[in-house]
Amino acid sequence: MPPSSIDHNIDLPAAGRRPTMAEIARIAGVDTSTVSRALAGSPRVTKETRALIDKIVKETGYVVNETARHLRGGRANQILVIVSDIAAPFYSDVVQGIVETLAERGINVLLGVTLRQPKRETQLAKQLLTGVVDGIITVTGSIPKPILNMPGFERKVVAISRAVPHEGVTCVTIDNYSAAKQVMQHLRQMGHQHIVYIGGPSYSETYRDRSAAYADFMRENGLNDFTNMRSTDTFNNDAESGLEIMRSILNDGVCPTAVFCATDELAIGAMAAARQANKAIPDDMSFFGFDDLKLTPLMSPPLSTVAVPRFEMGHNGAEALFRQVYNDAPVSTKVVLEHRLVLRESVARIA
């Protein structure tokens, strides 16, 4: 029987409640299955029925209940991004890359912030276990324990920027060791020997790689006497810590000709400390950063640094997770993106 053509204006759903598919069906005089198929664009529905349903949908302002769809379909079309601190420019850029990429694919992004508390990370992990999200992108360098017990968790997790100590988990990074080595080579070529290093927390492979490159280079070039590494283990990894660490370096009577900072944020703070101690940059002291944050070219002086493709990292990570979760493509365990040295005016050539 064709759908009835009774006047369907007589019984609109109660105001204040959104109409359900059942109501659309009742008004149209068809079954919910027909409405469902009509809206899904199934060829099994006549033009007329489809038109009628479309009209009613428009009139009532019906929108599908995604929660019901998810329950039935088993997919949330949502993923979770875990960062330690979205207020840090590095992470917010990565997240921007992720969000843009997934928005195009109709995937929602849940934002989880750990503030470096393992407890929070564990809580966030539950979102995957409870089915709220279909996958996780972590930018913290670790995977919460509860997840490791999920069979096949590898294809539901992607790590960005920081490698993760688990076999088979896709990881999008750069070659931190090489990059740091190149920085050191550049500083040496510019005549610097007394180079100190301000690093990030050693529990992160990223920062271990960078500091290892520094230490190796100093050793390999017979500069052991100058080797001096300070880290932010007990600090946050931000400009404030850079300031404090640089102050302590100067207080210790150490006076390098160049300072290599493991992040631009640290460099910003370190340079401020140097200025406060009346050092001219770069004439008295040179600085090299890492990340190429957007504002580094506008600093005074513009900061030489390593360009890290943050948006691309986010983009690639999101793309990888999407394929693994929604297209069951094979996992690609390691993606290494290109970095690039950006030479500006914060490094002086010395005799």
Where along the sequence are the contacts to its own copies (CB under 8 A)?
15-16, 18, 61, 63-68, 70-71, 76, 78, 81, 85-89, 92-93, 95-96, 99-100, 103, 108-113, 115, 120, 123, 126-127, 129-132, 149, 151-152, 238-240, 243, 265, 268-269, 271-272, 275, 294-295, 297-300
Report the C-alpha gap between 311 and 313 in whole angstroms: 5
Pick between residue 29 and residue 89 the one whose CB is nearest to DNA: 29
> Of 197-216, which residues contact DNA (CB under 7 A)?
none
Both structure tokens of 49: 């029925």
Amino acid found at 187: L
Going by their DSSP bridges, the two strands 229-231 and 286-288 should be labelled as unpaired
Query: Concatenated DSSP letters for 256-282?
Result: -SEEEESSHHHHHHHHHHHHHTT--TT
Q: Is 152 in the site for DNA (CB under 7 A)?
A: no
Amino acid found at 205: E
Query: Among residues 13, 29, 146, 301, which is the contact residue for DNA, using CB under 7 A?
Result: 29
| Interface stretch with DNA, choices 20-28, 120-128, 158-166, 248-256 (CB under 7 A) | 20-28
HEC-encoded secondary structure of 214-260:
HHHHHHHCCCHHHCCEEECCCCCCCHHHHHHHHHHHHHCCCCCCEEE
Q: CB of residue 221 vs its own copies: minimum separation in angstroms?
A: 32
Q: CB of residue 312 vs DNA: minimum separation in angstroms?
A: 34
Cis previous bond, 282, omega within 30? yes
Report the C-alpha gap between 306 and 66 in whole angstroms: 43
Location of structure tokens 């300031």? 243
Contact partner, 323, from its own copies, DNA, none, Cβ < 5-8 Å per class: none
Report the C-alpha gap between 206 and 212 in whole angstroms: 10
Pick between residue 129 and residue 255 the one whose CB is nearest to DNA: 129
> Of 31-90, which residues contact DNA (CB under 7 A)?
31-34, 36-37, 39-40, 43-46, 48-49, 62, 64-65, 68-69, 71-74
Pick between residue 20 and residue 185 the one whose CB is nearest to DNA: 20
Going by their DSSP bridges, the two strands 170-174 and 157-160 should be labelled as parallel
Answer yes or no: are the C-beta atoms of 106 and 161 closer than 8 Å. no
Pick between residue 18 and residue 334 the one whose CB is nearest to its own copies: 18
| Interface stretch with DNA, choices 24-32, 216-224, 228-236, 284-292 (CB under 7 A) | 24-32
Pick between residue 131 and residue 297 the one whose CB is nearest to DNA: 131
Q: CB of residue 162 vs its own copies: minimum separation in angstroms?
A: 19
Q: CB of residue 30 vs DNA: minimum separation in angstroms?
A: 3
Answer yes or no: are the C-beta atoms of 249 and 195 closer than 8 Å. no
Q: CB of residue 127 vs DNA: minimum separation in angstroms?
A: 14
Cis previous bond, 301, omega within 30? yes
Q: CB of residue 227 vs its own copies: minimum separation in angstroms?
A: 27
Q: CB of residue 180 vs its own copies: minimum separation in angstroms?
A: 23
Handedness of CA 25, 26, 28, 30 (dihedral sign): positive
Contact partner, 112, from DNA, its own copies, none, Cβ < 5-8 Å per class: its own copies
Q: CB of residue 102 vs DNA: minimum separation in angstroms?
A: 20
Q: Is 115 in the site for DNA (CB under 7 A)?
A: no
Pick between residue 181 and residue 315 the one whose CB is nearest to its own copies: 315
Please state, in angstroms and as integers, the Cα–Cα distance from residue 304 to each residue in 72, 147, 250, 260, 274, following that order.
Answer: 53, 40, 22, 10, 16
Q: List 286's β-bridge partners, or say none.
A: 258
Residues that bind DNA (CB under 7 A): 1-3, 20-22, 29-34, 36-37, 39-40, 43-46, 48-49, 62, 64-65, 68-69, 71-74
